[in-house]
Amino acid sequence: MLLFIILLTLSVLEGFLLGGYILLSKKLNAAGNKFLAYFIITLSLLLLNVILDETGVFAHIPFLKIIDDIEWAFLLPTFVFLFILHRVEYPLKNSKKLFLLYIPFIYSGALSLIFDFDILFHFYKLSSQQLQWFTIAFWIETLLIIIFILTIFPISYFYIKTTPHIEDRKWLNYLVTIIYFLLIIWIVIILTSFTFAEFDNWVYLKGLGLTSTIIIHWVAYLGIIKNKLYRDKKEVARLLDNQRTFITTDTNNPAELTIPNSLKKEVFTSDNPYYLKLEKLCKEEQLYRDPTLSRDKVASILGISPGYVSQFINAITGENFATYINDYRVESVKKLIIDTKFDNYSLLALGLESGFTSKTAFYTAFKKGTGMTPNAYKKSHK
């Protein structure tokens, strides 16, 4: 028991410190990290309630029980959801309607306060009929939190899919899945205690709380490490955008690039107008930096069919579409590695901002194009 309390206390202290550090640090204030900090602080507060109960603090100072009676768990899925919206930069993140996500917590908090003002503070005396209404209200609260948790996390997966970067999708999916799993276990424990009077849910809740201490460390680690990558990507993108030479392209007017009859049966050469147009888009507008770039998208921009894109790229360069675009991305990374302005940014950030969607795709293409890894290439040129 003593070891359990010590571990929990250390985790709670670290949780509050980490949450505060994320909120106050200028390096960690991007991409809605404040919601990650709020999540860690809220989870720490829930675990603090376990400590206060186990050490008998609530028994000696009853009015503190009001902290435990408020269902802080309502805030956990809300903060995770808001963090995801900001991390994937989905437009919904700025919607004022997101305030509605706090309604379950407000309802639960108000219910607990009204009840505790009678039981703990004796400000008034609720009648037996009013207590019956409160029993119904508390059942509604339980039903509400179940529906809320079972709904908001599947929706979170949908928004995670909107980010084109595989690395981001991967760790965000891990984050949501583990938190979702723990909250489902919490719901099962609560419902079981309602169904079976002899069921000692407190033992299982303590075990769940101890498991959550690991989550605090894991979430904080991922939040800090991934935040560096996120900041690097944003800064690299800004520097690259400043270097870009913008040209005016009317992509909504395919007519100006209509294939002349004389070219329909041509043998493709490097002076093909569509090839020249694509080269210009890659060299001057850095089209290859779009991680969602596909043959169909290029065909739409040029106003031709996807098959025609493959034909002229293959005939002129001897490569397929994916290799052609990756060659530009590899060349971009090579230039960034040599450029001293990008020395402080991670190689993965350079790769992702050059258009690669994952670390694996980046390292594979770079090794294929240069015969060495990005790290080896950097060492050989520094």
Would you say domain 2-228 falls under CATH 3.40.50? no
The angle subtended at Cα 34 by Cα 187 and Cα 85, nearest 5°, is 70
Selected from 1.10.1760.20, 1.10.10.60, 1.10.10.10, 3.40.190.10, the CATH number assigned to the domain covering 240-380 reads: 1.10.10.60
Per the model's pLDDT, the better-predicted residue between 364 and 33 turns out to be 364
Task: List, as one string, the DSSP characters of 118-165.
Answer: HHTS-SS---HHHHHHHHHHHHHHHHHHHHHHHHHHHHHHHHHTT-S-
pLDDT over 50 at 380, yes or no = yes
Q: Where in the chain is the domain with CATH 1.10.10.60?
A: 240-380
Q: Over range 227-232, report the average pLDDT.
A: 62
Question: Of 116-130, 172-186, 227-241, 305-319, which one has max mean pLDDT?
Answer: 305-319
Instruction: Please state the three-class secondary structure of the chain as a single string.
Output: CHHHHHHHHHHHHHHHHHHHHHHHCCCCCCCCHHHHHHHHHHHHHHHHHHHHHHCCHHHHCHHHHHHHHCCHHHHHHHHHHHHHHHHCCCHHHHCHHHHHHHHHHHHHHHHHHHHHHHHCCCCCCCCHHHHHHHHHHHHHHHHHHHHHHHHHHHHHHHHHCCCCCHHHHHHHHHHHHHHHHHHHHHHHHHHHHHHCCCCCHHHHHHHHHHHHHHHHHHHHHHHHHHHHHHHHHHHHHHHHHHHCCCCCCCCCCHHHHCCCHHHCCCCCCCCCHHHHHHHHHHHHCCHHHCCCCCHHHHHHHHCCCHHHHHHHHHHHHCCCHHHHHHHHHHHHHHHHHHCHHHCCCCHHHHHHHCCCCCHHHHHHHHHHHHCCCHHHHHHHCC
Helix or strand holding residue 71 (H, E): none
Res 231: pLDDT: 61
Give the pLDDT of residue 122: 76
Least confident residue range of 133-137, 273-277, 287-291: 133-137
- Residue 248 clears pLDDT 50, i.e. is over it: no
pLDDT score recorded for residue 190: 75
Confidence of residue 365 (pLDDT cuts 50, 70, 90): very high
Q: Where residue 8 falls among pLDDT bands split at 50, 70, 90?
A: confident
Instruction: Report pTM.
Output: 0.66
Tell whether the model's pLDDT for residue 330 goes beyond 90: yes
Residue type, 362: F
The region of weakest confidence among 28-37, 84-93, 208-217, 308-317 is 208-217
Please give the Cα distance from 339 to 284 (Å, whole number).
18
Numbered ranges of CATH 1.20.1070 in the chain: 2-228
Residue type, 319: E
User: Is the CB of residue 10 less than 8 Å from the CB of residue 29?
Assistant: no
Provide the pLDDT for residue 242.
Answer: 65
